[in-house]
Amino acid sequence: MLIMRADEQAYAAFQDVDFDEIMEAMGRFNDEMIQAGVLLAAEGLDDAADGVVIDFSSDPPVVSDGPYGETKELFGGFWILDVASKEEAVEWAKRAPMTGPGQKTEIRRVSSIDEFPQDNPWIQKERAWREKTGQL
Protein backbone atom coordinates (compact mmCIF):
# COMPACT_ATOMS: atom_id res chain seq x y z
CA MET A 1 0.00 0.00 0.00
CA LEU A 2 1.32 3.43 -0.92
CA ILE A 3 -0.03 5.91 1.62
CA MET A 4 -0.14 9.61 0.74
CA ARG A 5 0.91 11.77 3.68
CA ALA A 6 1.25 15.52 3.87
CA ASP A 7 1.79 18.19 6.50
CA GLU A 8 0.19 21.63 6.86
CA GLN A 9 2.79 23.22 4.57
CA ALA A 10 1.97 20.77 1.77
CA TYR A 11 -1.79 21.25 2.15
CA ALA A 12 -1.32 25.04 2.11
CA ALA A 13 0.73 24.80 -1.10
CA PHE A 14 -2.04 22.81 -2.80
CA GLN A 15 -4.61 25.54 -2.11
CA ASP A 16 -3.20 27.46 -5.08
CA VAL A 17 -2.96 24.51 -7.48
CA ASP A 18 -5.74 24.06 -10.04
CA PHE A 19 -7.80 20.96 -9.19
CA ASP A 20 -7.82 19.89 -12.86
CA GLU A 21 -4.01 19.95 -12.81
CA ILE A 22 -3.97 17.68 -9.76
CA MET A 23 -6.49 15.32 -11.37
CA GLU A 24 -4.43 15.19 -14.58
CA ALA A 25 -1.23 14.28 -12.73
CA MET A 26 -2.94 11.66 -10.54
CA GLY A 27 -4.86 10.29 -13.52
CA ARG A 28 -1.70 9.82 -15.56
CA PHE A 29 0.03 8.08 -12.64
CA ASN A 30 -2.97 5.82 -11.98
CA ASP A 31 -3.19 4.98 -15.69
CA GLU A 32 0.50 3.97 -15.75
CA MET A 33 -0.15 1.55 -12.91
CA ILE A 34 -3.31 0.22 -14.58
CA GLN A 35 -1.43 -0.35 -17.84
CA ALA A 36 1.36 -2.12 -15.91
CA GLY A 37 -1.26 -4.34 -14.22
CA VAL A 38 -0.23 -3.45 -10.66
CA LEU A 39 -3.07 -1.18 -9.44
CA LEU A 40 -5.68 -2.93 -7.27
CA ALA A 41 -7.30 0.14 -5.65
CA ALA A 42 -6.77 3.87 -5.23
CA GLU A 43 -8.74 6.39 -3.20
CA GLY A 44 -8.39 9.91 -1.91
CA LEU A 45 -9.82 11.02 1.40
CA ASP A 46 -12.04 13.96 2.35
CA ASP A 47 -10.67 16.90 4.29
CA ALA A 48 -9.51 15.93 7.78
CA ALA A 49 -11.67 18.73 9.19
CA ASP A 50 -14.69 16.60 8.27
CA GLY A 51 -13.28 13.50 10.00
CA VAL A 52 -13.74 12.07 13.46
CA VAL A 53 -11.26 10.43 15.83
CA ILE A 54 -12.21 7.72 18.31
CA ASP A 55 -9.64 7.74 21.14
CA PHE A 56 -9.55 4.47 23.04
CA SER A 57 -7.29 5.81 25.82
CA SER A 58 -10.26 5.85 28.19
CA ASP A 59 -13.44 3.91 28.81
CA PRO A 60 -15.75 4.84 27.24
CA PRO A 61 -13.77 5.95 24.18
CA VAL A 62 -13.70 9.70 23.48
CA VAL A 63 -15.03 10.94 20.14
CA SER A 64 -13.65 14.20 18.75
CA ASP A 65 -14.13 16.03 15.46
CA GLY A 66 -11.26 16.94 13.12
CA PRO A 67 -9.05 18.68 12.38
CA TYR A 68 -6.44 16.96 14.46
CA GLY A 69 -4.27 19.67 15.99
CA GLU A 70 -1.82 17.22 17.52
CA THR A 71 -1.11 15.57 14.16
CA LYS A 72 1.88 16.78 12.16
CA GLU A 73 1.03 14.75 9.06
CA LEU A 74 -2.30 13.59 7.71
CA PHE A 75 -3.13 10.52 5.67
CA GLY A 76 -4.62 11.85 2.42
CA GLY A 77 -5.25 8.77 0.31
CA PHE A 78 -3.77 5.50 -0.86
CA TRP A 79 -2.95 3.14 -3.69
CA ILE A 80 -2.96 -0.63 -3.26
CA LEU A 81 -0.60 -2.34 -5.67
CA ASP A 82 0.12 -5.96 -6.52
CA VAL A 83 3.89 -5.98 -6.95
CA ALA A 84 6.58 -8.64 -6.61
CA SER A 85 8.79 -6.86 -4.08
CA LYS A 86 9.29 -3.92 -1.75
CA GLU A 87 11.80 -2.57 -4.27
CA GLU A 88 9.14 -2.52 -7.02
CA ALA A 89 6.76 -0.70 -4.66
CA VAL A 90 9.50 1.86 -3.96
CA GLU A 91 9.99 2.45 -7.69
CA TRP A 92 6.27 3.09 -8.16
CA ALA A 93 6.14 5.35 -5.10
CA LYS A 94 9.04 7.45 -6.40
CA ARG A 95 6.98 8.14 -9.54
CA ALA A 96 3.90 9.38 -7.66
CA PRO A 97 2.94 13.00 -8.38
CA MET A 98 3.73 14.01 -4.81
CA THR A 99 6.29 16.77 -5.11
CA GLY A 100 7.16 19.54 -2.70
CA PRO A 101 7.99 20.13 0.93
CA GLY A 102 5.88 18.23 3.46
CA GLN A 103 4.72 15.51 1.06
CA LYS A 104 5.57 11.87 1.69
CA THR A 105 4.49 8.47 0.52
CA GLU A 106 4.69 5.65 3.04
CA ILE A 107 4.87 2.04 1.86
CA ARG A 108 3.22 -0.66 3.95
CA ARG A 109 2.62 -4.28 3.01
CA VAL A 110 -1.00 -5.47 3.27
CA SER A 111 -1.28 -8.91 4.85
CA SER A 112 -3.20 -11.61 3.02
CA ILE A 113 -5.91 -13.61 4.74
CA ASP A 114 -3.85 -16.68 3.79
CA GLU A 115 -1.17 -15.58 6.27
CA PHE A 116 -3.46 -15.98 9.29
CA PRO A 117 -4.26 -19.29 11.07
CA GLN A 118 -6.82 -20.97 8.81
CA ASP A 119 -8.27 -23.00 11.70
CA ASN A 120 -9.36 -19.81 13.49
CA PRO A 121 -13.19 -19.52 13.35
CA TRP A 122 -13.03 -15.75 12.70
CA ILE A 123 -10.66 -16.24 9.79
CA GLN A 124 -12.97 -18.95 8.45
CA LYS A 125 -15.96 -16.57 8.69
CA GLU A 126 -14.07 -13.81 6.93
CA ARG A 127 -12.85 -16.19 4.22
CA ALA A 128 -16.45 -17.34 3.61
CA TRP A 129 -17.58 -13.70 3.39
CA ARG A 130 -14.75 -12.85 0.96
CA GLU A 131 -15.63 -15.88 -1.20
CA LYS A 132 -19.33 -14.95 -1.16
CA THR A 133 -18.59 -11.35 -2.21
CA GLY A 134 -16.09 -12.34 -4.92
CA GLN A 135 -13.05 -11.03 -3.09
CA LEU A 136 -11.30 -14.43 -3.21
Domain count, the chain: 1
* Number of C-beta neighbours around residue 51 at 10 A: 15
The domain that holds 17 is classified in CATH as: 3.30.70.1060
Please report the sign of the dihedral spanned by the C-alpha atoms of residue 76, residue 25, residue 41, residue 3.
negative
Residue 120: its pLDDT value, please? 95
pLDDT digit of tens for each residue in the chain (136 aa)?
999 988 888 888 888 888 889 889 999 999 999 999 999 999 988 877 788 888 889 999 988 887 665 667 788 899 999 999 999 999 999 999 887 888 899 999 999 999 999 999 999 999 999 999 998 8
Domain extent for 29: 2-132
Residue 33: its pLDDT value, please? 96
pTM recorded for the entire structure:
0.81
